[in-house]
């Protein structure tokens, strides 16, 4: 439910605020935003992952979601921007 999503998002941002290079929190936040179809939020979370050297993992996350949502134009655009 949306309350749990908001709480999860809050916890992830708190974790990242404490340790900006906490890769697992950035991955979880990217996944959460993708699952919620918040592509801009996912891209923002993914940008930090890429800065930390995890750009291939980010592409994989986005590709997995695109397989499940092949008609999502925003997701296609975001993925194209990563290539």
pLDDT (tens digit, 0 to 9) for every residue of the chain, 83 residues total?
667 999 999 999 999 999 999 989 998 998 898 888 888 888 888 888 888 888 788 788 878 878 877 888 877 887 787 76
CA distance 56 to 59: 5
Q: For residue 17, what pLDDT is reported?
A: 95
Residue 4 corresponds to which tokens in the numbers above?
């749990």
- Cβ neighbours of residue 21 closer than 8 Å, sequence gap 6 or more: 52
Task: For residue 37, give Cα distances in angstroms to 8, 12, 42, 69.
Answer: 15, 17, 8, 10
d(CA 39, CA 68): 14
């Amino acid at each position: 439910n949306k309350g749990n999503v908001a709480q999860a998002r809050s916890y992830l941002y708190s974790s990242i605020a404490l340790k900006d290079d906490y890769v697992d929190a950035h991955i979880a936040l990217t996944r959460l935003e993708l699952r919620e179809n918040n592509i801009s939020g996912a891209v923002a979370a993914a940008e930090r992952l890429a800065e930390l050297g995890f750009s291939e993992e980010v592409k994989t996350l986005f590709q997995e979601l695109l397989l499940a949502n092949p008609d999502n134009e925003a997701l296609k655009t975001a993925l194209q921007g990563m290539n």
